[in-house]
A and B are shown apart, each in its own frame.
Chain A
Amino acid sequence: MPADKGGNGAQSGIGAAVRRKEDFRFITGAGRYTDDITLPGQSYAYFLRSPYAHAQIAAIDIAAAEASPGVVAVFTGKDVAADGLGGLICGWMIHSKDGSEMRTGAHPVLALDRVRYVGDHVAVVIAESLAEAKAGAELIDVDYEEYDAVVGVEAALAENAPQLHDEVPGNLCFAWELGDKAATEAAFDRAARRVTLTFANNRLIPNAMEPRAAIGDYDRGTGDYTLYTTSQNPHVARLVLSAFVGVAPEHKLRVIAPDVGGGFGSKIFIYAEETVCVWAAAKLRRPVKWTAERNESFLSDAHGRDHVSHAELALDADGRMLGLRVHTRANLGAYLSTFASSVPTYLYGTLLSGQYDIPAIYVEVDGVFTHTAPVDAYRGAGRPEATYLVERIVETAARELDMDPVEFRRRNFIREFPHQTPVIMNYDIGDYDASLNEACRLVDYAGFADRRAASEARGRKRGIGFSAYIEACGIAPSQAVGSLGAGVGLWESAEVRVNPTGSVEVLTGSHSHGQGHETTFAQLVSDQLGIPIENVEVVHGDTDKVQFGMGTYGSRSGAVGMSAIQLALDKVIAKGRRIAAHLLEAGEEDITFDGGSFQVAGTDRAVPFADLALQAYTGHGFPTNEIEPGLKESAFYDPVNFTFPAGCHIAEVEIDPETGVTHIENFVAVDDFGTIINPMIVAGQVHGGVAQGIGQAMLENCAYDPESGQLLSGSFMDYCMPRADDLPEFVVGMTETPCTTNPLGIKGCGEAGAIGAPAAIVNAVTDALGIRDIAMPVTPERVWRAINS
């Protein structure tokens, strides 16, 4: 691999736009993804999925399938149950208003007697080839008794609605609340003005470029299990599969997540397919591989969003916000996915204060089961829903007050930090005026009126929309989330191993599946140790190499993962100083470390880092009661608070009234991510996130048939992923208030684009059309209807 820049602190350290080390292998096709791995004797799994949204399985006849050529085995839910495996779990307990625990039914790995969504897992056929597995699956005779299904939250909560789980009367998983109800009511009582809005946050299908895949392997000599899988958090997968599902003991199960081609949340969760692969591999004593076909991804990857909300904002006579009241119904799908319950509650309700000083907030969220694919975290996870709600109602309020939306926001911004919101969060720092002003400058807000007039002269409608978002990253301070019901504390681990030649391996519990950790993490090490970046290797994604970790999601790898690396680096440097003191025959307190060299302060006596590393392993005569040989340190970092990236996105659109086509003329994103390690990678994260946000706002429409529960948008022929020509040239700007609660000042940048963009787009479209609201995705037909109604 050709080396990147020559690499020293200045060129490859914090803040340098280093080209991504991993890209050479990715763009030349040399990446090694799960599906690229073929083990000797490997067999292939194919899952028979439910064609119905809701049905009772009266009987399954697998005899013909078992006898089909090449078929090795056919398993159903009965076989899984007979082996005593547990069901799939949800790791976050939510309590309802009345204090009761959320209600949920069993989530069997393979269906037992009931299927609850189209794509639910009925049986698995394992064969010598995939074609034979598919042929075998066609011979399985399932006797279904079809029942009525519900796909939307309103229908699911209606009286006499079809029931998903016996344990969940009325399909209501939880009725959660947050905030001070009485104080909020009092705020509404004294309000001079109220603004209300009811809208949906549309359901999305993640569509990572690489579909999910798994290979289970079992060594009958040692009793070791290995699972290769497309995971964002292999250690969590191992923990869940061993401690909860009971597939294998934790110390006997190795989970490897090799190169992973995107996740966006959908690869956090522990699904049926990988569970079956490990379990079946041990039963059959041979490797079992499964790779999702794209239509399976559409049906069975956890979906995102899907809220229906009613929001009310109370204002005083001067346009100051007094209170916000929200009632949301969140569609959870048919079963609770791994983190499903936390997304529409603690990752959502806690962000409803936005960037504004709102004295009272009260939010109720009903979590509802429906006959659809499970819904869980998807890029932004709760925060896009919160931002959309806040920024839509704020823009609407400004219009109803006949006030400039920029001015209205300024009037209500939080300006003193730390700021305690009424919904748990304590913002450590931010400068919302700075990002708003910079975004207005970049979009040339002052020139908008002229541009609008020019559009009108051409028969077009032009609008501008703002979205001053805030989000919470770096999940999560273990103490805080523990008290809120999280099953695990979400710290991160790191180990820094210095080799005798002075090169370094960094082992991290974070997992890179597109984020560029191999570059940014190496930049941190290069910066701190003063060594060339090519001498740093980032190791991740293998539970046999990295002791434990929580993985990558919620934009946590910088804020939490790199903080752990920093702590380990501090320990390496501290030990290096002790070794240097010995080598240079000086007092430890006189040793400085700078520019890759340990030096006796005020002298020219120094030892370069690489020489010191060699001495650490080969030197003689260390005072071993004071200094152990070797140079390797590890650290666990538990954040003390969330981080709060914030910024301002502005969309300017032009609409063709004849067709209803919306063209994005300008899109400006100004973000405050705190300290930036690599501005190029950060800009890339913003571009990708904004593309997904625009996708949600304008193109992506996950639709189920309300009667049959069939997925109507089940392929790229109908589900519209944004493509390059759907998107404008993005203008990306940065402001910087470093996070005050972690060592590097990093806030996180992975999701902001998807969080900020949708409201900016819809605010711009409603501005252009002079209407209050329009549903996402803002399709040409919806716009055309709005114009012609």
Chain B
Amino acid sequence: MYEFDYHTPQTIDDARALLSGRDDPKLLAGGQTLLPTMKQRLAAPSDLIDLRKVTGLDGITGAGDTLRIGAMVRHAAVAASDEVRQAIPALAALAGGIGDPLVRHRGTLGGSIANNDPSADYPAGCLALAATISTDRREIGADEFFLGMFETALEEDEIITGVAFPVPRKAGYAKFPNPASRYAMVGVFVAQTGNAVRVAVTGAGPGVFRVPAMETALASDFSAQAIADISVPSDGLLEDLHGSAEYRANLVTVMAKRAVQSAL
């Protein structure tokens, strides 16, 4: 790790002020991605601006058909929240399946989606549920937010404050974990809101993506059978030690079916 200055602002305005006028400042949330990268000397921010004391980034609130989760809410809190479990059980299950207990007690929703790891779970939930990401300056729809591998619509100094999830009629998440890292090798989130269905896939491609053919099929018949023969092309999917693009393409269909089954 290289040297850096550490700050604990109390308000969003203070955090924003700290972000401007410094060499290479970085926001720090749960540190589960940022700190390992710094320890390996792959990142060398000049300043760490810790968000843990900033007011207004915490809390889970349900208001009618929307569930709002603060950016600093830890995965473990989402997994254990009665509100989330009642409104969107699939989202609680998703959070409960991230990493291990230590990671879940430190890692945050805001950190996860800001990072937009192609194998992270939350991006699938946000995209399938058509969530809205709030920042210190605007609201961004999930379709516009996730741009590709580790890329988002966030500006350099933009701070996520929370995410609003529309409560779906039904939703399910099925994850095939990478056996080593336990990140998603393929994770499929399926959500039925009104008459529309959204299917979002993480882990398989360079970024989270939707599968329109499955969405159409499920809109008319919300059953695993309806998508059993729909597959995504393997071109452009990720390949690594653990799985080829072809295998990941197969898993997309299998996990989508299981997500539908778990939503029923």
CA–CA, A134 to B254, complex, Å? 47
B242 within 8 A of A: yes
B243 within 8 A of A: yes
Q: Do B254 and A779 touch across chains, with their CB atoms under 8 A apart?
A: no
Q: Do B180 and A717 touch across chains, with their CB atoms under 8 A apart?
A: yes
A703 within 8 A of B: yes
B181 within 8 A of A: yes
B244 within 8 A of A: yes
Q: Do A720 and B176 touch across chains, with their CB atoms under 8 A apart?
A: no
Q: Do A701 and B254 touch across chains, with their CB atoms under 8 A apart?
A: no
Residues on B with beta carbons closer than 8 Å to the beta carbon of A779: 179, 242
Classify the interface of chain B: helix, strand, loop or mixed: loop
Given A658-B254, A659-B254, A718-B241, A699 and B247 touching (CB < 8 A)? no
Q: What's the nearest-Cβ distance from chain A to residue B100, in Å?
A: 9
Given A134-B41, A658-B254, A659-B254, A781 and B242 touching (CB < 8 A)? yes
CA–CA, A719 to B251, complex, Å? 21
B1 within 8 A of A: yes
Q: What's the nearest-Cβ distance from chain A to residue B199, in Å?
A: 18
Q: What's the nearest-Cβ distance from chain A to residue B257, in Å?
A: 8
B250 within 8 A of A: yes
Q: Do A720 and B251 touch across chains, with their CB atoms under 8 A apart?
A: no
Contact flags B1-42 to A (C-beta < 8 A → 1, else 0) = 110000000000000000000000000000000000000110
Among B40, B176, B179, B244, the most chain A Cβ lie within 10 Å of the Cβ of B179
Chain A residue nearest to B255 (CB atoms) is A659
Q: Do A720 and B254 touch across chains, with their CB atoms under 8 A apart?
A: no
CA–CA, A716 to B242, complex, Å? 13
Interface positions of A from 709 to 738, Cβ below 8 Å from B:
712-713, 716-721, 726
Interface residues on A, range: 20 to 34
Contact flags A103-143 to B (C-beta < 8 A → 1, else 0) = 00000000000000000000000000001001100100000
Chain A residue nearest to B254 (CB atoms) is A658
CA–CA, A389 to B206, complex, Å? 40
Q: Do A713 and B241 touch across chains, with their CB atoms under 8 A apart?
A: yes
Selected contact of B179 from candidates A703, A720, A785, CB within 8 Å? A720
Classify the interface of chain A: helix, strand, loop or mixed: loop
Q: Do A784 and B179 touch across chains, with their CB atoms under 8 A apart?
A: no
CA–CA, A134 to B240, complex, Å? 30
Q: What's the nearest-Cβ distance from chain B to residue A132, in Å?
A: 11
Given A658-B254, A716-B181, A718-B180, A131 and B1 touching (CB < 8 A)? yes
Chain A residue nearest to B240 (CB atoms) is A718
Residues on A with beta carbons closer than 8 Å to the beta carbon of B243: 780-781
CA–CA, A712 to B250, complex, Å? 24
Residues on B with beta carbons closer than 8 Å to the beta carbon of A781: 242-244, 247
Interface positions of B from 126 to 183, Cβ below 8 Å from A:
176, 179-181
CA–CA, A279 to B46, complex, Å? 38
Interface positions of A from 233 to 256, Cβ below 8 Å from B:
none
Q: Do A719 and B1 touch across chains, with their CB atoms under 8 A apart?
A: no
Q: Do B254 and A703 touch across chains, with their CB atoms under 8 A apart?
A: no
Selected contact of A784 from candidates B1, B40, B180, B250, CB within 8 Å? B250
Q: Do A701 and B241 touch across chains, with their CB atoms under 8 A apart?
A: yes
CA–CA, A701 to B243, complex, Å? 13
CA–CA, A281 to B40, complex, Å? 27
Q: What's the nearest-Cβ distance from chain B to residue A298, in Å?
A: 12
CA–CA, A785 to B243, complex, Å? 11
Interface positions of A from 748 to 789, Cβ below 8 Å from B:
779-781, 784-785
Contact flags B213-243 to A (C-beta < 8 A → 1, else 0) = 0000000000000000000000000001111
Q: What's the nearest-Cβ distance from chain A to residue B40, in Å?
A: 8
Residues on B with beta carbons closer than 8 Å to the beta carbon of A720: 179-180
Q: What's the nearest-Cβ distance from chain B to residue A708, in Å?
A: 14
Residues on A with beta carbons closer than 8 Å to the beta carbon of B179: 699, 720, 726, 779-780
Contact flags A682-700 to B (C-beta < 8 A → 1, else 0) = 0000000000000000010
CA–CA, A129 to B262, complex, Å? 53
CA–CA, A247 to B41, complex, Å? 33
Q: What's the nearest-Cβ distance from chain B to residue A766, in Å?
A: 20
Residues on B with beta carbons closer than 8 Å to the beta carbon of A716: 180-181
Residues on A with beta carbons closer than 8 Å to the beta carbon of B251: 659
Residues on B with beta carbons closer than 8 Å to the beta carbon of A712: 241
CA–CA, A780 to B181, complex, Å? 15
Q: What's the nearest-Cβ distance from chain A to residue B258, in Å?
A: 9
Q: What's the nearest-Cβ distance from chain B to residue A11, in Å?
A: 38
Given A659-B251, A716-B180, A784-B247, A703 and B241 touching (CB < 8 A)? yes
Among A716, A720, A721, the most chain B Cβ lie within 10 Å of the Cβ of A720
Q: What's the nearest-Cβ distance from chain B to residue A707, in Å?
A: 15
Residues on B with beta carbons closer than 8 Å to the beta carbon of A659: 176, 250-251, 254
CA–CA, A663 to B3, complex, Å? 47
Residues on A with beta carbons closer than 8 Å to the beta carbon of B180: 699, 716-721
Q: Do A717 and B241 touch across chains, with their CB atoms under 8 A apart?
A: no
Among A717, A719, A726, A785, the most chain B Cβ lie within 10 Å of the Cβ of A717
Chain B residue nearest to A722 (CB atoms) is B179
Residues on A with beta carbons closer than 8 Å to the beta carbon of B250: 658-659, 784
Q: What's the nearest-Cβ distance from chain A to residue B149, in Å?
A: 16
Q: Do A717 and B244 touch across chains, with their CB atoms under 8 A apart?
A: no
Q: Which B residues form the contact surface with A (CB < 8 A)? A: 1-2, 40-41, 176, 179-181, 240-244, 247, 250-251, 254
22 examples of A-B residue contacts, CB within 8 angstroms: A138-B41, A295-B40, A658-B254, A659-B176, A659-B250, A659-B251, A660-B247, A701-B241, A703-B241, A713-B241, A716-B181, A718-B181, A718-B242, A720-B180, A726-B179, A779-B179, A779-B242, A780-B243, A780-B247, A781-B243, A781-B244, A781-B247
Q: Can you name 4 extra interface pairs (CB under 8 A) apart from A134-B41, A699-B179, A781-B247? A: A135-B2, A659-B176, A713-B241, A785-B247
- 8 interchain residue pairs of minimum CB distance: A720-B180, A717-B181, A781-B247, A720-B179, A658-B254, A781-B243, A718-B180, A659-B254
